[in-house]
Amino acid sequence: MQQPFHLMIKPTGATCNLDCTYCYYVHKESQTPPAWRMSDEVLETLIRQYLAAQPGPEVTFAWQGGEPTLLGVPAFRKILAVREHYRQPGQRVVNTIQTNGTLLDEAWAVFLKENHILVGISLDGPGDLHDQYRVDKGGKTTYARVIQAIELLRSHAVEYNILCTVNRANAEHAERVYVELIRHGQHLQFIPIVERAGDPDPAWPAGAMTAWSVDPQAYGRFLSTIFDRWFAHDIGRIHVQLFEGQIGVSLSQPAGLCVFAETCGDAVVAERDGSIYSCDHYVYDTFLLGNVRSENVSDLVAKPVQRHFGNAKRESLPQQCRSCRHLHRCWGECPKHRFAETAAGEPGLSYLCGGYYHFFEHTAARLDALATGIGHGIPAWETARRWGTGVSPRAVGPNDPCLCGSGKKRKKCCGSTSFRNPFWSRRFSVENIARP
Ligand code: SF4
Ligand code: SF4
């Protein structure tokens, strides 16, 4: 039976209206074919093949770039019509779009809302930090335009999450960044910026780190500081993908993020000419699997070379990772970042190891406690509230009064529904994270 896989589609390739200093993709504008957008023929082929290949009832389309909103609303309406045409009976389709936000207007907001499209919008913190690197092609800052876009999404009740890169400029300002982000959203993602100088093709020898790459230790401190604040004040109100994913790991669920999975290779990317690559971080000739104009995307994903790519994440782990107490949480992180040496001089350690190790040391006990509580029907916020007081949170039975104070039995109230975070695609079966 066909295994499900995830497809990220780049309908405008690397073409973008911004020129963010740290973008690993924008330099590909000059490398890819002259047409700036995916043709209708390629789009239709991709959509048809992808829908046919998914065995489950739910299929997620992830539209990314470059900047996918450059396509415009009419083109996206056509895409949704094609998707509707090929959708199988009973198949539910989720669309997500990652945008810098600067081109969003009233028409976009209405379209996104009408079609239940989940939006990821990039914001790196308050203006002075965001604008360090996120500038347009003319060098103009973008913070004000992004905030305007977020307000627009809010006013139309569009579901969105904020994607914040953690880089050299903002990593030492965790508190300020977090306060800014939660002023503007409830769902947060953090992505570390790790780039070597020169062409980032992994086949190239390691060069010096770029000036905007995050320092590993600073990244660990950044995550730990935000975790402390979230755990103490915001758990259940603010959803941080990385933290909630790690609670899932404590519950023996698969990691929500590919970088923390034992293996990878199930998330491929479609470039604008229909080429399929092993991963968004590996859009290089060496990792080209083929093209949907001549082969089916499911056959490309099933190729032995792609299985090898995914399994190599586990099989190439250095000894330091294999014996690490946090291996089950980290799995050596993303192979793209494994260009450091272990303490024993073995190659293949993640550049970010020091940061992640610090973060896991700092948070593992609390992550496990939250998971244990969830396993006993105790909401995460209740466990967090009692943490350090010496009082165990009380287990709640289905016939006990619900902790939200409604006066109803738990099974008739918060305990009756499973919470699903649409952005992280993670289900916790108890009332878990969400605060009433
Ligand atoms: S190579 Fe890195 S980014 Fe790509 S799927 Fe694997 S872990 Fe994820
Ligand atoms: S924390 Fe470091 S040593 Fe441990 S698994 Fe992650 S990268 Fe490897």
Asked whether 193 lines ligand 1 (CB < 6 A), one says no
Ligand 2 proximal residues by C-beta, below 6 Å: 320-321, 324, 326-327, 330, 332-333, 350, 353, 356-357
Asked whether 337 lines ligand 1 (CB < 6 A), one says no
Q: pLDDT band at 429, cuts 50/70/90?
A: very low
Q: What are the tens digits of pLDDT across the range 328-370?
A: 999 999 999 999 999 999 999 999 999 999 999 999 999 999 9
Q: What are the tens digits of pLDDT across the range 287-329?
A: 999 999 999 999 999 999 999 999 999 999 999 999 999 999 9
Q: What are the tens digits of pLDDT across the range 166-221?
A: 999 999 999 999 999 999 999 999 999 998 876 555 555 557 888 889 999 999 99
Distance 59 CA to ligand 1 centre (A): 20
Residue 80's nearest CA partner among 115, 39, 120 is 115
pLDDT of residue 177: 98
Q: What are the tens digits of pLDDT across the range 76-116?
A: 999 999 999 999 888 999 999 999 999 999 999 999 999 99
* Mean pLDDT across 262-289: 93
pLDDT of residue 260: 97
Check pLDDT > 50 for residue 240: yes
CA distance 253 to 375: 12
Nearest CA to ligand 2 atom 1: 357
Q: What are the tens digits of pLDDT across the range 118-141?
A: 999 999 999 999 998 887 888 888
Check pLDDT > 90 for residue 403: no
Asked whether 279 lines ligand 1 (CB < 6 A), one says yes
**3-class DSSP string for the chain:** CCCCCEEEECCCCCCCCECCCCCCCHHHHHCCCCCCCCCHHHHHHHHHHHHHHCCCCEEEEEECCCCHHHHCHHHHHHHHHHHHHHCCCCCEEEEEEEECCCCCCHHHHHHHHHCCCEEEEECCCCHHHHHHHCEECCCCECHHHHHHHHHHHHHCCCCEEEEEEECCCCCCCHHHHHHHHHHHCCEEEEEECCCECCCCCCCCCCCCECCCCCCHHHHHHHHHHHHHHHHHHHECCEEEHHHHHHHHHHCCCCCCCHHHCCCCCCEEEECCCCEEECCHHHCCHHHEEEECCCCCHHHHHCCHHHHHHHHHHHHCCCHHHHCCCCHHHHCCCCHHHCCEECCCCCEEECCCHHHHHHHHHHHHHHHHHHHHHHHCCCCHHHHHHHCCCCCCCCCCCCCCECCCCCCCEHHHCHHHCCEEECCCCEEECCCCCCCC
From 266, 280, 299, 368, active-site residue: 280
pLDDT of residue 435: 47
Average pLDDT value for the chain? 86
Nearest CA to ligand 1 atom 5: 264
Closest ligand to C-alpha of residue 351 is 2
* Half-sphere exposure (Cβ direction) of 150: Cα atoms closer than 13 Å: 22
Closest atom of ligand 1 relative to the 279 alpha carbon:
4
Nearest CA to ligand 1 atom 2: 334
Q: Residue 280 catalytic?
A: yes
Q: For tokens 């590993």, name the residue.
A: 216
371 in Cβ contact with 429 (< 8 Å): no
